[in-house]
Structure 1
C-alpha cells in the first residue's frame, strides 16, 4: 500500500477541483514547490505561469496597512489619531471618534459599502453605481458616507472595506500624493516588485490573468463588469507569486517598517472569533493557544488569494487564482504540508 504525501494530496486536489491559478511554496530562501494551472485567457487558451499577474482582491489591504504604519513611524500620525483631524467627515453620530487603530483593526463601526454580514453578491453594488465610475478612493466614499454607524468605535470587530477606503484617503491627505502613487513608490518599488501594480481592467499589462466566473452548464464569463475599474485602498492590486513573496521577505525583515512595527502588525489586536485574531491588516490563526500562521486572503468574483506565513517554520505558501473560490480549495493541503514538512 502506497502512502500519499502532502504534496501528492495537494496535486490531487488541484486536479479534482480543476484549479486555475498558480502556487508557490518557499522555505527560507529555497523554492520547494512552484506550479501553475489553467488558463490566464480561456478564449485564447493562454496558460497561467508562475510569473503571471493575478488580481489580489482584499489581499492588498495589507499594502494600505503598511503604508499607514509607515506614516506613524515618521511621526505624521499616531494609531490614536482621530480621522476627523485630517478628513472632513459627514455629520454622523460616532464618526468623529473613529481612530486609525479602529480602521486598521475593523473595529471602527463605519458602515461598510459591501457588508459581508448581510450581503453576499458583490456584483449587486454596481447596479446603481457603475463599476467604471469607481476610479479614486473618494468615488467609493459616496457608497457609504451617508449611512449611520453600525456600532460605537471599538465596540466589536466587523470586517470593513469602507474602513480601508478611509485609510487610503488619510494617506492621500497626509502625504499629498495619490494613494496608488504612494504605495507604488514606498512599497512596490522598495521591494523590487516589478510585476505588481494597480491596473485598470480595460488596460491590463501583458502576462495578466483575466478573472473568470464559472456558471452552470459549463458556461463562464470574465469579471470585467463585476469589480471596480481599478484597485482601491481596500483591494484590487495585481501581483505575481514571486512579487508577493518579495513583499513578505521585506516586511518580515523590517525593510518596509521597523521590526518593532512589523511585530505590532503581526500581534493580535482583536479577536473576531475563537480561532482567528486580527492584527494590523493581517489575519492570525491561533491553534492550541499558539500562533500557527499569519495570513492574508482575498476574494472577488473571478479572484481568490491566500498567502500563509507559518510561524517558526520559515515556510511561506502563496496561491493566486483567477477563479472565485480556487485558492481556498487548497488551504487545508497547505496546512498539512507545513505541519508535515515539504
Structure 2
C-alpha cells in the first residue's frame, strides 16, 4: 500500500508473501496483478487516439468491427463502450455466472493471450439492451476497445499502452506480463480453499489485456495519477473531459471513462479504480480536495477495499 499527499511525502507499507512456497516477502516495488483496475489505461489509450483525430467519442463501433460482431446494434459508439452503457453481451455474465473459473472449462485460460481470442465468448450473443439505456458493467466492451486500438495503431494493445501510457508516466515496473513468464519481484496471486492456499495461475487468462490483467507497483500507480491529474498524459481539454462523470450508477456514484467517480453535493471528492479476480484485490484512488493519492494492492482475492476504508478513516480524522 502507498499513500502520497499534497506535501509530496510518500507513506507506504508492505507485508505478506509474494511467493508462499519460497517465502518471499512483498515490498513497495513488488508487482501485483490489478485485474479490472487497468481499464483506465484502456480509456486513456482511446482518448489519445481521439486527440490524434483517428477516432471520435461518437464513432460507431459497427464502422470498425462489423465483421467481428454480426449481432451488434449499429448505434453502439465508443462513448457507450467506455461508460459500460453499450448493451453488448459480456464474456462473463455476472447475472448468470458466479465463478470466473467456469469460463475455462471449455476454453483453457492459457490459450488467451490476445483480445481477439475472447471474441468467441460473446460475438454471436444478442444485445442485452439498447445502447445508452443504462449502465451495466461490461468486460467485453473493453476487450473491443482494445481491438479498436490495435486496428488504428497497427500495434498489439499491450505494446501501445506500455509505450504511450506506462512509459509516459514513468511506470518503469509495470507491464502486461504473461502468467507463465512472470519476472522477479512479482506477487503470485493466491486463493484460499478448504485445503489451504493455491495459486491463481489456472483461474485467470494467461495474459492481461484491455479489460484487465496488467501488473503494476504501488509506486507506479501513484505516478499514473500524477500524470493524469497534472494533465501531462492527455491535453488540458481532454483531461477535463476524462474526469467528468458520464453516467450515474447509483446515488453519489458515477462512472466516467474507465474510472469510478464519487460525488457529494454535486462535487467530486474521489476518483478511483478497482479490480477483483481470483487471487487479486486492488483499489487506487485520487482525492482532489486533499490532493491525495492511494494505491492498495493485494495478491489475495479480497482485502484491498477494507484497507482503503481504514486509510480513508484515518485521513478523515486528521
Q: Could you tell me which of 96, 104, 107 is aligned with 1:126? A: 104
Match of 1:64 in 2: 42
Task: Say which is worse superposed, 165-174 or 327-336, in terms of deviation.
Answer: 327-336
Does residue 52 of structure 1 match 2:30?
yes
**Matching residue within 46, 54, 69 for 1:90:** 69
For 1:117 and 1:265, how far apart are their aligned partners in 2?
A: 29
Q: What's the CA shift for 1:288? A: 4.0
Q: For residues 190 and 143 of structure 1, what CA distance do their matches in structure 2 show? A: 33
- The superposition leaves residues 57-115 of structure 1 with CA deviations (integer Å, 9 ceiling, x where unpaired) of 000111000000000011111000001212234321x5221100000000000001112
Extract unaligned runs of 5+ from structure 2.
none
Distance in 2 (alpha carbons) for counterparts of 1:150 and 1:194? 40
CA contact (8 A) 2:70 2:123 kept: no
1:122 touches 1:226 (CA, 8 Å); kept in 2? yes
Q: Does 2:78 align with 1:104?
A: no
* SS of match in other structure, 1:309: strand
Query: For 1:1-342, what aligned pairs fall within 5 Å after superposition?
Result: 23-28=1-6, 30-87=8-65, 88-92=67-71, 94-216=72-194, 219-341=196-318
Q: Decide whether the 8 Å contact of 1:264 with 1:279 is kept in 2.
A: no
**1:113-165 deviations in Å (ceiling 9; x for gaps):** 11223322111111111101111000011111011110011110000000000
Residue 44 of structure 1 and its aligned partner are, at CA, apart by 1.0
Distance of 1:204 and 1:316 partners within structure 2? 27
Distance across 1 between alignment mates of 2:247 and 2:95: 18
CA positional deviation for 1:32: 4.4
Structure 1: runs of 5 or more not aligned: 1-22
Which runs of at least 4 in structure 1 moved beyond 3 Å after TM superposition? none
Q: Does structure 2 conserve the Cα–Cα contact (< 8 Å) formed by 1:24 and 1:31?
A: no
Question: C-alpha distance in 2, partners of 1:182/1:158?
Answer: 27
Shift of 1:29: 5.3
The 3-state SS of whatever aligns with 2:121 is: coil
SS of aligned partner of 1:124: helix
SS at match of 1:299: strand
- In structure 2, relative to structure 1, the CA distance for the partners of 1:29 and 1:136 (3 Å cut) is farther
Supply the distance in 2 between the matched residues of 1:123 and 1:168 (Cα, whole angstroms). 23
Q: What per-residue deviation string (whole Å, max 9, x for no partner) do you get for residues 247-302 of structure 1?
A: 11111111111122122121110011113100111101123443220000000000
Cα deviation per residue 1:195-227 (whole Å; 9 max; x = unaligned)?
Answer: 00001101001100000001235x010000000
**Distance in structure 1 (CA, Å) of the matches to 2:241 and 2:95:** 27
Change in 2 beyond 3 A, CA 1:29/1:202: farther
Task: Give the structure-2-normalised TM-score.
Answer: 0.97
Tell me which residue corresponds to 1:9. none
The number of residues matched between the two structures is: 317
Q: 2 CA distance for matches of 1:263 and 1:115? A: 32
